[in-house]
Amino acid sequence: MARSTARPVVKLRSTAGTGVTYVTRKNRLSDPDRMTLRKYDPVTREHVLFREER
């Protein structure tokens, strides 16, 4: 079964500047803006803001 274009794979990059990334999916129809999540950055050893990059 083909993947939906409404839920693309997005890469979340740390705003701490460490280069750590997470990969997830998002619903483009209900949330067209860039996604931001607070997740754990193992380099800084704390939770920081991760922002979607395009």
Q: What is the average pLDDT value for the chain, to the nearest integer?
A: 93
In single-letter form, the type of residue at position 23 comes to V
| In the chain, % of residues over pLDDT 90 | 85
Higher confidence at residue 1 or residue 35? 35
Q: Residue 25 has what pLDDT?
A: 94
CB 29: neighbour CB atoms within 10 A? 10
Q: Report pTM.
A: 0.85
Provide the H-helix boundaries in the chain: none
- 41 with 16: CB under 8 angstroms? yes
What phi and psi, each to the nearest 5 degrees, are found at residue 3?
A: -75, 150
Host H or E run for residue 51: strand 46-53
In this predicted structure, the answer to whether residue 54 has a pLDDT above a threshold of 90 is: no
